[in-house]
A and B are shown apart, each in its own frame.
Chain A
Amino acid sequence: MTDTDNVLKVENLKINFFTRKGTVYAVDDISFTLKKGETLGLVGESGCGKTTTVLGLMKMVPTPGEITGGRILIGGKDIVPLSEDEMRKKVRWGKASMVFQGAMNCLTPVYTIEKQMMETIQEHKQMEYFKAKNIIINYLNLVGLPEEIIRRYPHELSGGMKQRVVIATALFLEPKIVICDEPTTALDVVVQAQIINLIKRLKKKLGLSVIFITHDLATEAEVADRLLVMYAGKLAEIGTNEQIYGKGGPIHPYTKKLLKATPRLHEKVEELSFIPGTPPDLVDPPSGCRFHPRCSEVMERCKKDEPPLIKVEPEHWIACWRNHHE
């Protein structure tokens, strides 16, 4: 694996929020790569730092948050030292774009679809009106929407249509990396399936690399080639689709429990299992392994030392003392 295959490389990224209660270690020293043409799934419960991680990649962490360490390499170039202006001109939307969580709420209700999409284009590139309009129509067609939609207001569209508009907006400046933050969570199953198929089709057609965030492991099984499992600001497990969902199954107790809590349609279960408790307060994370207070396989060592991320087989990494053999 050479560096040229990686469109994105994150090294020891740290994002802290400096609040009145104290420093929140929202993302604590995580490293991963995104390969060309792959879909990388990012899963974990709410409050595990998934969204913060990707906001970090776009350098859009809201105050009082800050990237306090690490490097983010896009095409071999570190973007952490770039200024806000350089980010907007060179990286955001041109190289990497984002489909935000709750797409229905990120469209301005008082603008027509054309106006909001036009605004995005004009903000990033100097372009003639008619040329820009052509691009907008092309991309709306690409996501399966008719041309006349550009005159509509967001409230006239269904949830699925709004999601498609937001996806088109993320794509039209031809970025190579697209980050989708829970794009299907607020949609019903049928529309969810349509959007997933759309993202898969666009990825192939446009040669995109996608980071797909969700808390739903079932959706992730459909889309992701590789998975990152996050817990309390740390990576718990990294593995391929086959390694996590295949015969062997996941190794980290957290991933195992998440998978068990996911209902399966074609299997009748009497009792669904769940993970007791909630993710920890990251102002004062538990000592040792951050999952240890909720883990059923906890050992003495887990309470004291933090487990490092170790390789158990090619492409498969976990951070758990259970599988640590020295």
Chain B
Amino acid sequence: MSEPILKIENLKEWFPVRRTIAQLLKGEQIWVKAVDGITFDINQGEIFGLVGESGCGKTTTGKLLMKLLEPTDGKIMFKGKDVTHLEANKLKEYRRNVQMVFQDPYASMNPRFRAQDVLEEPLIIHQVGETRAEREKIVRRSLEEVRLIPPEEFMGRFPHMLSGGQRQRVATARTLVLSPSMIVADEPVSMIDLSTRAEILHMMKTVQRELGLTYLYITHDLSTARYFTDRIAVMYLGKIVELASADEVIDNALHPYTKALIAAVCEPVSGKSNTGRSYL
């Protein structure tokens, strides 16, 4: 394995709970410890999975990496540089390198923008491409990368004219226009039909290999994580409870929580239907 592209050390995000007057006078403060001291590295060119149930802090971790939240404590190192606290102009540069695919392809796109505008906007913000024609070339290239071919057919379409799978492709293309080195994908396929889900993951994996990208894949679905990722970190209540290669986590889970998560997954196999499954 090559150099880690991202290093996280003892990262914490605590949210304060609103205080009552009594607490205020006593100076007490209760915290929601959404992310409570996590440490991990992501290697260059790796697909790293972050798995856990709702409310375990996986999305908060994703937001911290995108610098959408300021961490309470800890350190984030990206390509050897400390990016924990960044000024506005540095932040813009960082965001060019780290992009995000959101969960809901229906909500993450402006309904009044055509696919072309959706993809062109980040280019304008980051001042990439001098002329409109130049930007259009980049837009076209990234649509081709996500296999929306021919790109001309999709550039003029509004989000409602695209299927769920096509929207998520456009969302991925939007991250690619800035040629980032890392993409944070927060449940990119959970809103998509099963028949298309595999297709999207396949596309994302192909793009990753072709462009040498690094992914952080956030999900609650262990079965897609196994197929898609190289390593998996299992998160529970703001802490990482198990971290190993994808096969190792699923075949030889050691932590009881990981075992319970695995037991909760449905499998398309007959004969299991009458045995009551264990759950948390």
On A, residues with C-beta under 8 Å from B are: 45-46, 158-159, 187-194, 196-197, 200, 215-225, 241-242, 244-246, 257-259, 261-266, 268-269, 271-276, 278
Query: 17 interchain pairs (CB within 8 A)?
Result: A46-B193, A159-B54, A189-B53, A191-B53, A216-B266, A218-B267, A223-B273, A242-B271, A246-B271, A259-B268, A261-B194, A261-B195, A263-B223, A264-B269, A265-B223, A274-B199, A274-B202
Establish whether residues A191 and B270, one from each chain, have CB atoms under 8 Å apart when the complex forms: no
Tell me if B113 is interfacial: C-beta within 8 Å of chain A: no
Establish whether residues A45 and B53, one from each chain, have CB atoms under 8 Å apart when the complex forms: no
Establish whether residues A221 and B273, one from each chain, have CB atoms under 8 Å apart when the complex forms: yes
A-contacting residues, B192-233, CB 8 Å? 193-199, 201-202, 220-224, 226-227
| Smallest CB separation, B203 vs chain A (Å) | 10
A19→B247 CA distance, assembly (Å): 50
Chain B interface residue count, CB cutoff 8 Å, equals: 43
A257→B164 CA distance, assembly (Å): 19
A-contacting residues, B222-280, CB 8 Å? 222-224, 226-227, 247, 250-251, 260-273, 276-277, 279-280
Establish whether residues B247 and A217, one from each chain, have CB atoms under 8 Å apart when the complex forms: no
Chain A residue with Cβ nearest B164? A46
Give the residues in chain B near A221, CB-CB below 8 Å.
266-270, 272-273
Establish whether residues A215 and B193, one from each chain, have CB atoms under 8 Å apart when the complex forms: yes
Cross-chain contact of B260 among A45, A190, A215, A274 (Cβ < 8 A): A190
Establish whether residues B202 and A263, one from each chain, have CB atoms under 8 Å apart when the complex forms: no
Tell me if B163 is interfacial: C-beta within 8 Å of chain A: yes
Establish whether residues B276 and A197, one from each chain, have CB atoms under 8 Å apart when the complex forms: yes
A193→B279 CA distance, assembly (Å): 7
| Smallest CB separation, B151 vs chain A (Å) | 19
Cross-chain contact of A271 among B164, B202, B247 (Cβ < 8 A): B202
Establish whether residues A242 and B193, one from each chain, have CB atoms under 8 Å apart when the complex forms: no
Establish whether residues A264 and B268, one from each chain, have CB atoms under 8 Å apart when the complex forms: yes
Establish whether residues A217 and B194, one from each chain, have CB atoms under 8 Å apart when the complex forms: yes
Cross-chain contact of B267 among A45, A244, A264, A269 (Cβ < 8 A): A264
Establish whether residues B261 and A190, one from each chain, have CB atoms under 8 Å apart when the complex forms: yes
A46→B262 CA distance, assembly (Å): 27
Give the residues in chain A near B226, CB-CB below 8 Å.
263, 265, 268
Give the residues in chain A near B262, CB-CB below 8 Å.
265
Establish whether residues A188 and B220, one from each chain, have CB atoms under 8 Å apart when the complex forms: yes
Establish whether residues B268 and A262, one from each chain, have CB atoms under 8 Å apart when the complex forms: yes
Give the residues in chain B near A225, CB-CB below 8 Å.
273
Establish whether residues A189 and B195, one from each chain, have CB atoms under 8 Å apart when the complex forms: no
Evaluate whether A264 and B223 lie within 8 angstroms (CB atoms) in the complex, with A193-B277, A221-B272, A274-B202 already known.
Answer: yes
Give the residues in chain B near A271, CB-CB below 8 Å.
202
A263→B199 CA distance, assembly (Å): 12
A242→B261 CA distance, assembly (Å): 26
Chain B residue with Cβ nearest A39? B273
Give the residues in chain B near A215, CB-CB below 8 Å.
193-195
Chain A residue with Cβ nearest B221? A189
Give the residues in chain A near B227, CB-CB below 8 Å.
263, 269, 272
Establish whether residues A218 and B279, one from each chain, have CB atoms under 8 Å apart when the complex forms: no
Establish whether residues A257 and B272, one from each chain, have CB atoms under 8 Å apart when the complex forms: no
Establish whether residues B273 and A224, one from each chain, have CB atoms under 8 Å apart when the complex forms: yes
A220→B270 CA distance, assembly (Å): 10
Give the residues in chain A near B194, CB-CB below 8 Å.
45, 215-217, 258, 261-262
Establish whether residues B279 and A194, one from each chain, have CB atoms under 8 Å apart when the complex forms: yes
Establish whether residues B267 and A192, one from each chain, have CB atoms under 8 Å apart when the complex forms: no
Establish whether residues B279 and A258, one from each chain, have CB atoms under 8 Å apart when the complex forms: no
| Smallest CB separation, B178 vs chain A (Å) | 28
A242→B271 CA distance, assembly (Å): 7
Establish whether residues A266 and B267, one from each chain, have CB atoms under 8 Å apart when the complex forms: yes
A221→B266 CA distance, assembly (Å): 8
Chain B residue with Cβ nearest A244? B270
A44→B24 CA distance, assembly (Å): 55
Give the residues in chain B near A264, CB-CB below 8 Å.
223, 267-269
A197, A259, A262: which has the most chain B beta carbons within 10 Å? A262
